[in-house]
Each structure stands twice: as structure tokens, then as C-alpha cells.
Amino acid sequence: MDEYAFVASGLPETSYYALEDRPYVASVVSVRTGPHKIRTLSTIPNSKIEEWRSQLRAKVSADIRAADRVRVREGKYKTLVGDVTGIEQDSAFVRIHLRSLKIIADIPLVFLEVYDEPEDVAGENGNL
């Protein structure tokens, strides 16, 4: 999620509060409780975070169209990049071309994200 970083629990609370001294952390989510208003970490169950991720993937995948370049985020083809050749219901047909593999895979839309190729990869005239 943009502007949030989720960290596993299990460390001493002071370890998490020490993150606030870093330039990339604005604050650690906490509440002040008890008569002395001592800060206590707020935790979110992993199941809730996974639910949010799933909802975000669904929103992002709704923007995928034929001819889009996509990266596979989950499943058998995870991390591979390909081109969408068609869409049918909740899946996309993705052309994946590697040196040793050329395939059109049927991949659930929620496993895909639009891939913006870094500008410096191909150079100005498309040559490596």
C-alpha cells in the first residue's frame, strides 16, 4: 500500500519506535493507553493485510486491457513480464517470451499488474 510499510510483530516495542528516527518513517501506529498515557503499538492481523492486498489487486487488475505489458505477481509465472493478447472474464491471455520458452498463459487478472518498463533498460533507440 502506498505510504505504508507493514512489519512483522515479535520484536521489543522499542525496536519499532526506533524506526521513527529514520528518514523514511513518519510514525509508528500506536495508541496512548492507561492512566499514564503510555504508547502501545497497534497491530493489524496478517489476514486483514492480505484482504487489503487482494482488494488492491482487484482494483489494479480492473485497469488491465489487451495489448498492455504486465508483470505476473502470483502463481506459476510469478515475476515474469508479458503482453496481454486478450481478456476473458476474470483471466487474461498473456504472451510470455523467454529464450527457452514462448507461451500464451491463461492467468487470473488479480495476479497481474500493468508493467511500466524502466526507461534505461532499452536505451533511446530500443537497443541494449
Residue 77 included in any domain: yes
Q: Say how far apart CA 42 and CA 31 lie, in whole Å.
A: 7
Domain count, the chain: 2
Task: Look up the CATH number of the domain holding residue 86.
Answer: 2.30.30.30
Q: What are phi and psi of 122, to 5 degrees?
A: -95, -10
pTM: 0.53
Mean pLDDT per 10-residue interval, the chain, length 128 residues? 76 89 87 90 88 78 88 93 92 94 93 81 49
Q: Say how far apart CA 40 and CA 95 lie, in whole Å.
A: 49
Residue 14 included in any domain: yes
pLDDT value of residue 121: 55
Give the domain range for residue 9: 1-43
Do 116 and 84 belong to one domain? yes
